[in-house]
Structure 1
Amino acid sequence: MIRVLLADDEAMIRAGVRAILGAAEGIEVVAEAGDGREAIELTLAHRPDVCLLDIRMPRLDGLRAAVELSRVAPDTAVAMLTTFSEDEYIASALGSGAAGFLLKSGNPRELIAGVQAVAEGGAYLSPSIARRVISHLGAAQLGRQTTARARVEELTAREREVLSLVGAGLSNAEIARRLHVVEGTVKAYVSQVLARLGFKNRVQAAILAYEAGLVGAEAE
């Protein structure tokens, strides 16, 4: 069972997200918070597998809450709830420790898939968010497509393969099954890829994989 903490200052949003997740098999919302500070307190109390954070909240916004959670509750995966008007916040959040970016108005299936992916150690961006990040923030965050491809070329063939699967949102366990290796080997490759690229988290790596054109055939 994936245990989720939901943090959003709008009760209607919380009710909608709770209903979607509650209808999904294997997911349980164990607590709700109305601001970032409360989200941290409840995370420490309940130790959920996933914390869903609204980006803009009172007392402590989702970005600062995500940074704090990565320090005090590293075993809890963090995913951000965003809207189309928050591109600049998404750029900042890339370094916050968040493993997923989910659109509030997106398809409910994306919300469920995102929670499942980050709970299993993967990274997830709603497809529409990924396109917007690459289109509007790619040059500032990761360089142009040619630069991204040049960076990827510095990796070994196996590292590029792992990067492409990270970009497709697969967890370490799923990558291990795809490549017919043990999960520990995948963890080592992911850590190696992040270190070589100078990234802090899988989301940054996933965006580079999109930018470099790696996500496609490997994700089929």
Structure 2
Amino acid sequence: MNTRHNPGRALPTVLILVAAFAAGLGLWLLSQPFTAAGPEMKALTRYPAPRAVADFQLTRSDGKPLSRADLQGHWSLFFFGFTHCPDICPNTLGVLKQVRAQLAQAGVADSIAIHFVSVDPQRDQPDVLGRYASFYDPGFVAATGNDEELTKLTRSLGVLYVREPAKDGQYNVDHSASVALVDPQARLVGLFRPPLDAAAIGADLLTLAKPR
């Protein structure tokens, strides 16, 4: 959990409860025995078995839609944050920039999508979000949506965000710091949990992406 921030409205109570349920589910899954199937990973925490990502509808910073169908056929990373984030988001996006450089050097950057999803749609309008993500890497896919759609996706990926009540026109957003990994069948396979190691993440992705 992380971050502190500014003007807006609180996340409805029902969404807080749903998000809390998602976090509990994610913790339960992580407590289960990991499957031995598949290659050994350096950084990835695997779930016992892949589980399908729920249908969702977000909007990318370029105005195009982003849905579950867009995850088919390639590996995908998902990190949730927002542009006013003071530390966790810049640090994580910096790591993911290094990961993408490693993938590019191996010639597979275009086959692994890296998504930065804003959980602060009120402030993170498409132009703001696009500029922020591009500062780290123009190849990042930046997107956001309303709380209903964001909750569908975060719950499905076992991560959490909570927008705290506003005080004097200010509000905080707490969110999970893990990076979710989705396979080419649009299934969640596990999390990269902090502290994040770019070299280890890149090595795992190269292992998973290489032809068998």
Q: Which has the higher helix share?
A: 1
Name the TM-score class by shorter chain: 0.3 to 0.5
Q: TM-score under structure 2 normalisation?
A: 0.32
The structure with higher relative contact order (CA 8 Å, sep 6+) is 2
